[in-house]
């Protein structure tokens, strides 16, 4: 009997060791997985989001998303701690007292024992800690097409930024280029309206910026703004060298909706219109670790960051005659993205669109100013009559109609939405669309959509909202708004609280950060 009792106690002890300790190890592993998930989720929402609340939501606590089912776990409350780590800062993710660059999540859970209770051990406590670095610590392979409004409204002074809207937008592009990774990111710059292939290079040759107060266009016309040549405008005022410092705009063209990776093509000849300012390149910085932009890069020069006084892109000659029309530029950018993606297996496509959302390209070239240059065809309609001895259009280009679907001079804002949605839902290779409403109205505009087209009654703000990927109120979206800019109003705001930054530099920085990933790091990282 003593031997039986001794063996029984030994057997129970072994059972306690095997079953209870084994059970604790399984629970700890599940708790560790939950901590990993909670830390990554919290890091995704840093630095401005509710990362602490998100970390709690993805923990293993009762009612949380990673509760370990099948085990009698009590407790499980997560402790979410923001961190400022030098190692992560060295990866290019800065840290301040209000903007941490890492987060740790610690959880403990108390579990009942099965056999150890015989020895007085009724419960066991297990714990797990995970640490994750915020977005920016891992670059992801992207092809990025930036589509900038360069119409005449962009010469308006933005007191919030302290420069013309065009130059403020370019500062934002520089911020984006400063944050992307040249090892895996290829970037191209597009604009609207078209400019000639013979003069588009002016945008990337670091010409001196034109001061908005002396920009060579007629400010006296309240209903129509027309760019005017120096020689034929008696009351011209401003810098007479301005005309050679900006490209020549052309009437809007309508590339076919892209269905292959053939790429974006333009006509032949020096006066052929093109939307693409600079092709895809990754020379904007000399390395991932470089802290300054590469001043020799055409892309950087077009963004005004080549050297001190580098002007970068500016509104072009005559573009006041052509107004704003997004769809043609978006299809051109999508075609170029598909072609670039085929060269970079495993990459994804991104389009960043900035403008005020108000498409208003007229169907007539009738300008109220008799000194404006003659335009031989309608402004919004690219027809064969535009073909001359100096250039030709690709045969695939479309002709505009009045029916409200692409290409048309009716329903222009709706066509922009349709073009963006087409790119965002492209079979097999969807493009993520970020939109930046820069001074967009939430109440008026989009005059050609009020009684025609596929989105009747749409406003400029709604145009840009609906162009962005995933636009639904309160959900994760890719829409940002600087409603403090001229023409904007407080009714045009992002629904996603993580997107509610309003300065262009901060918006572009947020987009760049979004194009990176978070990662788990050792808990003892400094």
- The Cα–Cα gap between 519 and 265 comes to 40
Most confident of 3-7, 57-61, 374-378: 57-61
pLDDT digits (tens, 9 = 90+) for 306-354: 777 777 888 887 776 678 999 999 999 999 999 999 999 999 999 999 9
Per-range mean pLDDT, top range of 56-60, 67-71, 172-176, 215-219: 172-176
Q: Please state, in angstroms and rounded to a whole number, the distance separating the CA atoms of residues 279 and 43.
A: 34
Better-scored residue on pLDDT, 408 or 237: 408
Short-list 118, 114, 88, CA closest to 100: 88
Distance of CA 291 to the CA centre of its chain: 21
Given a contact cutoff of 8 angstroms between Cβ atoms, the answer to whether 270 and 346 are in contact is no
Supply the DSSP symbol for 408. Answer: B
Cβ distance 266 to 272 under 8 Å? yes
The per-residue pLDDT for 92 is 67
pLDDT digits (tens, 9 = 90+) for 394-428: 888 887 888 889 988 889 999 999 999 999 999 87
Rounded to whole angstroms, how far apart are CA atoms 396 and 407?
Answer: 13
pLDDT class for 130, splitting at 50, 70, 90?
very high
Nearest CA-CA partner of 259 in 407, 396, 409, 147: 396
Alpha-carbon Rg for the chain in angstroms: 29
- 171-to-14, 47, 384, 485, 499 alpha-carbon distances in Å: 69, 22, 38, 15, 19
Mean pLDDT score, 171-192: 93
- Is 241 a residue whose pLDDT tops 50? no
**Which H or E element spans position 410?**
none
Residue 235 has pLDDT above 50, yes or no: no
Strands 348-355 and 273-281: unpaired
CATH T-level topology, domain 140-495: Rossmann fold (3.40.50)
Tokens 């997560």 found at: 78
pLDDT at 412: 93
Average pLDDT for 107-118: 76
Interval 462-475 mean pLDDT: 82
What pLDDT score was predicted for residue 175? Answer: 92
Q: How does pLDDT run across 485-510, given as a tens digit for each residue?
A: 999 999 998 876 555 677 888 899 88
Give the chain's mean pLDDT: 80
CA distance 250 to 237: 23
Confidence band of 110 (pLDDT split at 50, 70, 90): confident
Can you list the pairs that 304-311 forms with residues at least 24 positions away whose Cβ atoms lie under 8 Å? 304/167, 304/170, 304/171, 304/174, 304/209, 305/170, 305/174, 305/177, 306/206, 307/206, 309/208, 309/209, 310/206, 310/207, 310/209, 311/206, 311/207, 311/208, 311/209, 311/210, 311/245
Specify the 3-state DSSP secondary structure of 482: strand
Q: Lowest-confidence range among 132-136, 250-254, 367-371, 500-504?
A: 367-371
Closest CA to 64 of 87, 30, 115: 30
What distance in Å separates the CA atoms of residue 403 and residue 411, rounded to the nearest whole number? Answer: 8
Residue 369 has pLDDT above 60, yes or no: no
Q: Which two tokens stand for residue 340?
A: 């670039």
Cα atoms in the Cβ-side hemisphere of radius 13 Å centred on 292 = 6
Nearest to 66 by CA among 52, 78, 79: 78
More confident residue, 383 or 504: 504
Q: Which residues share a beta bridge with 139?
A: 516
Average pLDDT over residues 434-460: 93
Whether pLDDT at 132 is above 50: yes
Q: What confidence tier does 296 reach under pLDDT thresholds 50, 70, 90? A: very high
Quick one: 263 exposed, middle or buried, by C-beta within 10 A (0-12, 13-18, 19+)? Answer: middle
- H or E segment and range at residue 449: none
Mean pLDDT of 435-452: 92
Q: Where are the domains of the chain?
A: 2-138, 140-495
- The number of beta carbons lying within 10 Å of the beta carbon of residue 15 is 14
- Answer whether residue 478 shows pLDDT above 80: yes
Please report the pLDDT score of residue 238 as a whole number.
37
Position 381 scores a pLDDT of 37
pLDDT at 61 (0 to 100): 75
Query: What per-residue confidence (pLDDT) applies to 498?
Result: 55
Q: CA–CA separation, 304 vs 307, rounded Å?
A: 8
Strand order in the sheet with 516-521: 74-83, 102-112, 123-139, 516-521
Tens of pLDDT along 184-231?
999 999 999 888 898 899 899 886 655 544 454 444 433 333 333 333
Q: Give the Cα separation of 155 and 131 in Å (integer).
A: 47
pLDDT at site 272: 83
Confidence (pLDDT) at 446: 94
23 band by pLDDT with thresholds 50, 70 and 90: confident
320-331: burial string, b at 16+ Cβ within 10 Å, e else: bbbbbbbbbbbb
Q: What percent of the chain clears pLDDT 70, i.e. is strictly above it? A: 79
């Amino acid at each position: 009997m003593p031997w039986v009792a001794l063996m029984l106690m030994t057997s129970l002890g072994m059972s306690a060791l095997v079953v209870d300790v084994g059970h604790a190890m399984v629970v700890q592993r599940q708790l560790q997985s939950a901590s990993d998930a909670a830390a990554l989720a919290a890091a995704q929402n840093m630095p401005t989001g509710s990362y602490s609340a998100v970390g709690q939501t993805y923990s293993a606590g009762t009612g949380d998303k990673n509760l370990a089912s099948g085990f009698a776990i009590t407790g499980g409350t997560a402790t979410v701690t923001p961190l400022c780590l030098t190692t992560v800062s060295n990866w290019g993710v800065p840290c301040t007292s209000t903007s941490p660059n890492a987060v740790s999540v610690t959880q403990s859970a108390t579990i009942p024992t099965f056999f150890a209770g015989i020895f007085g051990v009724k419960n066991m406590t297990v714990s797990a800690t995970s640490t994750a670095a915020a977005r920016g610590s891992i670059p992801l392979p992207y092809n990025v097409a930036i589509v900038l409004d360069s119409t005449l409204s962009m010469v308006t002074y933005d007191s919030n930024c302290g420069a013309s809207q065009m130059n403020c937008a370019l500062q934002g592009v520089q911020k984006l280029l400063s944050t992307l990774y040249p090892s895996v990111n290829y970037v191209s710059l597009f604009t609207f309206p078209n400019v000639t292939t013979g003069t588009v290079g002016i945008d990337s040759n670091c010409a001196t910026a034109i001061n908005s107060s002396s920009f060579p266009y007629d400010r006296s016309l309240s209903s129509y703004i027309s760019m005017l040549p120096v020689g034929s405008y008696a009351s011209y005022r401003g810098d007479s060298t301005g005309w050679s410092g900006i490209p020549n705009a052309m009437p809007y063209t309508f590339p076919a909706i892209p269905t292959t990776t053939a790429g974006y093509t333009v006509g032949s000849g020096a006066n052929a219109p093109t939307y693409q300012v600079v092709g895809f390149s990754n020379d904007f910085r000399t390395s991932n670790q470089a802290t300054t932009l590469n001043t020799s890069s055409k892309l950087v020069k077009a963004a005004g960051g080549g050297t001190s006084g580098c002007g970068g892109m500016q509104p072009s000659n005559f573009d006041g005659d052509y107004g704003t029309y997004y769809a043609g530029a978006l299809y051109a950018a999508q075609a170029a993205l598909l072609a670039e993606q085929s060269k970079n297996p495993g990459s994804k496509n991104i389009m960043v669109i900035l403008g005020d959302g108000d498409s208003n390209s007229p169907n007539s070239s009738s300008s109220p100013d008799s000194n404006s240059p003659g335009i031989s065809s309608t402004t919004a309609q690219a027809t064969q009559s535009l073909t001359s001895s100096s250039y030709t259009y690709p045969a695939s280009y479309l002709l505009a109609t009045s029916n409200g679907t692409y290409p048309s001079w009716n329903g222009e804002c709706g066509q922009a939405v349709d073009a963006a949605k087409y790119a965002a839902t492209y079979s097999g290779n969807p493009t993520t669309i970020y939109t930046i409403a820069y001074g967009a109205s939430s109440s008026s505009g989009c005059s050609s959509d009020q009684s025609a087209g596929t989105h009747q009654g749409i406003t400029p703000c709604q145009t840009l909202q609906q162009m962005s990927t995933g636009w639904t109120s309160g959900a994760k979206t890719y829409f940002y708004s600087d409603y403090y800019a001229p023409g904007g109003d407080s009714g045009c705001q992002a629904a996603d609280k993580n997107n509610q930054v309003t300065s262009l530099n901060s918006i572009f920085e947020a987009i760049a950060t979004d194009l990176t990933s978070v990662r788990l790091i050792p808990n003892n990282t400094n």
